[in-house]
Amino acid sequence: MSNYQYLDKVNFPSDIKKLSIEELKIFSSEVRKELINAVSVTGGHLGAGLGVVELTVALHYIFDTPNDKLIWDVGHQTYPHKILTGRKDKIRTLRQKNGLSGFTKRTESEYDPFGAAHSSTSISSALGIAVANKLSNKSNDVVAVIGDGAISAGMAYEAMNNAGVSKTKMIVILNDNDMSIAKPVGAMRSYLAKLLSGKLYFSLREISKLIISIFSKKFSAKAGKAEDFLRTAVTGGTLFNSLGFYYVGPIDGHNLDVLIPVLKNAKESRHEGPIMIHVKTEKGKGYTFAEKASDKYHGVSKFNIQTGIQEKSKVNLPSYTKVFANTLIKHAEKDSKIVGITAAMPSGTGMDIFGERFPKRMFDVGIAEQHAVTFAGGLATEGFKPYTAIYSTFLQRAYDQVVHDIAIQSLPVRFAIDRAGLVGADGPTHAGSFDITYLSTLPNFVVMAASDEAELVKMINTSVDINDKPSAFRYPRGTGVGVQLPSIDEKLEIGKGRIIQEGTKLVIINFGARLAECLKASISLKKKGINISIVDARFAKPLDENLIWQLATDHEAIITIEEGSIGGFGSHVAKFLFEKNLLDRGLKFRSMILPDKFIDQDKPESMYKLAGLDSQSIEERVIDLLNSNIVLQKQK
């Protein structure tokens, strides 16, 4: 039983409107405490939420949500928002089966007007809603909250450029905590830092008074001059002003005495056009261990509140991500042309490890996947060997660049595709479901998938020598299966699969990390007197056509299995079988793929069971297919 003075009485934003500012300060500390307690049990994103507690409280206090639309960028920072908007009692179900999403989700609450899991979408979606309101003669306010890391992405600039000329009122809160997931990179970080380091900068207290006084409806000529001075010389708001925004800031994002009057003035303003309020916050605010951590506890597993120590995996196996990073380092030690690229995910992709060893040869380009891909293309034209490490779900954001700038020009960019397949608690927005399909359709591409960590090493080794076309190798989130790693000299013959075991009648052709489940199914089938062949395809493109021909002529049935959507490996195999008239000879063929739906968050093993890609589902599919053959023979 909780014993919060105010939080226990608050279920929706309307409840906090009855509180005084002094009471809101106590309430904010209670929200922060509840957030720490909840995430210590569930794991998830902590640092970002801790940094926006006061901002969240102030926004819901001033604006009439859900009638006024509050749109959060990414979603990492929305846990306090969920506590305030009718989801307090479910906060300990975060990122679990049938629980709260770790991101904003339209189907979860009317207080989530736009779903957000990938960054830099808030200004675009907010502008769309604001224009819709304008066309419908509605007076609802629209507020977008975007972080300093997310605003560095190209999409955010495109949105600001459009918003500035639209003359449509909307409010953008720039949550500047000097840190997105990792340290922000690029010119925007330096620009924001200058706002607080200029010689003319006043104290936050003094500047807050000035902002509150000038951002009112009663301007004198003198105040107008003060405003121009403040928004340019003092704060450096010229960039946002030039984009058509009315710029205010920076202000202390943890000071409700400042936040509430400024937000109130913004809401009541009759300014025709977008307003930018620059708020300074501290990621991890209020929890000592988060404040001191280099990543500010951005993403955490379950942890002990008193010590800050996070639970470690009980499985003592290397992660695929670290296997990739360590293998690439070994190659880079011998080949000075190898460089690493990531898009704001150095630790998530293992590029932080590579960067420690080769700081001049690792490039974190920020939240800019499109730029990352074309940047890699430029490096490739000059004889370098770029390894672009991007999650499968994030690489989708750069598909045009993959097609136009890399594939058409046949540039040897190597794509290390992490988080392939289903990813667990991050749910459908982060699942790597489509990369097999969207890459295998492209001419001039080599597409590989690792069935275990040893195969991943061999695929990295192989990619080093692919110098005339782009290549990609995909691998899942989590740890390997525990096999011994080969040396960096062991390479694969491009387009050639391997036979794992030989049986009769039916063969499973695996592409990717379902091999262990295939082997598990074969053991159970063997006990039932069914001996099957298993093949690890290794390549979706180019296909091992000779091997597939042999398998088709030696077996009565083929099943392909992959952790991807329709249109991937199985589709290419089916096309080959059809074109060679192999299906006309009575060959039975089935493909096992991800179902045509988005699968909600759960433990990965449960998600794969739901998807029908676990060992039991494989076993059932084998038996069904063999029985269908028997039935057809009897009918003859």
Residues catalogued as catalytic = 283, 369, 397
First to last CA, the chain: 70
Residue 629: HSE in the Cβ half-sphere, 13 Å Cα cutoff: 17
Q: Given the structure tokens 């042999």, which residue do they identify? A: 550
d(CA 185, CA 517): 41
The answer to whether the beta carbons of residues 62 and 263 sit under 8 Å apart is yes
Distance (Å, whole) CA 75 – CA 122: 10
What the block records as the tokens of 289 is 């261990």
DSSP letter at 120 equals S
Q: Pick from 61, 101, 85, 74: which is nearest to 175 by CA?
A: 74
Distance, in Å, from the CA atom of 135 to the CA atom of 116, rounded to the nearest integer, reads 24
Residues 212, 216: Cα–Cα separation, whole Å: 7
Q: 3-state DSSP call for residue 596?
A: coil
CA distance 133 to 622: 55
The amino acid at 305: I
E-strand spans in 382-504?
Answer: 385-391, 414-418, 446-449, 471-474, 498-501
Q: How far is CA 495 from CA 352, 480, 548, 591, in A?
A: 31, 23, 11, 20
Distance CA(418)–CA(420), nearest Å, equals 6
Q: Is the dihedral of CA 481, 388, 439, 427 positive or negative?
A: positive
Q: Contact 475/439 with Cβ under 8 angstroms?
A: no
Assigned token pair, 587: 């060959």
User: Taking Cα atoms as reference points, which of 458, 544, 542, 460 lies closest to residue 509?
Assistant: 544
DSSP 476-509: -SSB---PPPPPTT--PPTT--EEEE--SSEEEE
CB atoms within 10 A of CB 155: 20
Neighbouring C-alpha atoms within 13 Å toward the C-beta of 160: 24
**Can you say how many angstroms the Cα of residue 255 is from the centroid of all Cα atoms in its chain?**
31
Structural Rg of the chain based on CA atoms: 27
What's the rounded Cα separation, in Å, for the pair 247 and 229?
Answer: 12
Token pair 């202390």 is at which residue?
A: 252
- Determine if residue 344 is left, alpha or beta; phi over 0 gives left, psi from -120 to 50 gives alpha, anything else beta: left
Alpha carbon 316 to chain centroid, angstroms: 26
**How far is the C-alpha of 20 from the C-alpha of 37, rounded, in Å?**
25
* Residues 422, 611 contacting (CB under 8 angstroms): yes
Beta bridge partners of 533: 507
